[in-house]
Amino acid sequence: MSDLLRLRVLTPAETLLDVEKVAWAQVRLADGGGIGIYPGHAPLLAETVTAPLHYADQSGEHVLDLEAGILQVDCGGVTVLTSGVSQTSEDFDELGRAVSQPSEILAEVSAVAHFDRLARELLATVQA
């Protein structure tokens, strides 16, 4: 049993976060409750909602606003599969400046739709 966790946040297109030596993580689940995950936590597969992900590592506590997704806890740590970070008005401004080609926007929308379909299939399998 490790004293610390590995925390990964993945989207269909990229790794948003990959942190070793995380002391704890907190996420909000689709059933309305939140969950704290510490080293040695039992394996878990759950649906998350759009909400902040809180975690602490050696440099302190951090917050990352995420879209809804899938949480997996296993002996390797914590993985959150999501379509991306929550969009605020500032994020939309940055996105508009960063993405200038319509083909880039279509590729991103396609990747998100593909991820959403896979997440729904995974949830249906877990609930069956």
Note the pLDDT of residue 85: 78
Smallest CA-to-CA distance from 67 within 39, 91, 102, 43 is with 91
Alpha carbons 98 and 113: distance in angstroms, whole number: 21
Strand boundaries in 11-125, DSSP class E: 15-22, 24-28, 34-37, 44-48, 51-57, 60-66, 69-74, 77-82
Cβ atoms of 47 and 117 within 8 Å: the answer is no
What would the pLDDT profile of 68-120 be if each residue is shown by its tens digit? 999 999 988 999 999 877 654 344 434 444 444 444 545 555 666 667 777 77
Q: What is the domain extent for residue 79?
A: 5-127
Q: How many domains does the chain have?
A: 1
Note the pLDDT of residue 27: 95
HSE on the CB side for 32, CA within 13 Å?
0
What would the pLDDT profile of 26-72 be if each residue is shown by its tens digit? 999 999 889 999 999 999 999 999 999 999 999 999 999 999 999 99
* CATH number of 33's domain: 2.60.15.10
Note the pLDDT of residue 88: 45
* 8-state DSSP, 107: H
